[in-house]
Amino acid sequence: MKAVIGLGMLVLTALIHWTPAVAQETAGQVLAKLSKQPPDKRQQVLAEKAKAEGEVTFYSSLQAAQIDPFVRVFNKRYPFIKVTPIGRPDKNRS
C-alpha cells in the first residue's frame, strides 16, 4: 500500500514539475491583438469574450436614475450580459 501511495505521489510530483505553466495574457497584450483586427472581427471577438464572462459592473458618478437608460440600451444590444450598475444613490429613490 505504501508503494502505491509513494508511486502516486511521484507521478503527481512529476506532473506538477513537468507541466508548463499556463501564462495568461495581460490586458495590454489582448488589446494589442484586438487593435490589429478589422472592426467587424474585433466586435465579434469582444462579444464572444463578453458572453463567456457573462456580466459587467458599470461604475459611474451618475445617479442611479441617470444610469438606467444606458443599461437599457446596453441590455438591448447585449441581452446575454448581466449589468450591475454602481452609481450615486438617488435622493428620490427608496
81: left (phi over 0), alpha (psi -120 to 50) or beta: beta
Residue 90: closest CA among 67, 71, 57: 67
* Rounded-to-10 torsion of CA 17, 18, 20, 21: -10
Domain for residue 51, yes or no? yes
pLDDT at 5 over 90: no
Domain for residue 80, yes or no? yes
The overall pTM is greater than 0.75: no
Domain for residue 2, yes or no? no
pLDDT of 22: 52
Domain count, the chain: 1
Residue 1: closest CA among 89, 29, 9, 11: 9
pLDDT band at 13 (very low <50, low <70, confident <90, very high): very low
pLDDT digits (tens, 9 = 90+) for 27-77: 888 889 889 999 999 989 888 888 898 999 989 898 888 899 999 999 999
Domain for residue 76, yes or no? yes
Residues spanned by the domain of 49:
37-94
Domain for residue 50, yes or no? yes
Cell numbers of 5, please?
501511495
- Residues 11-21 have a mean pLDDT of 46
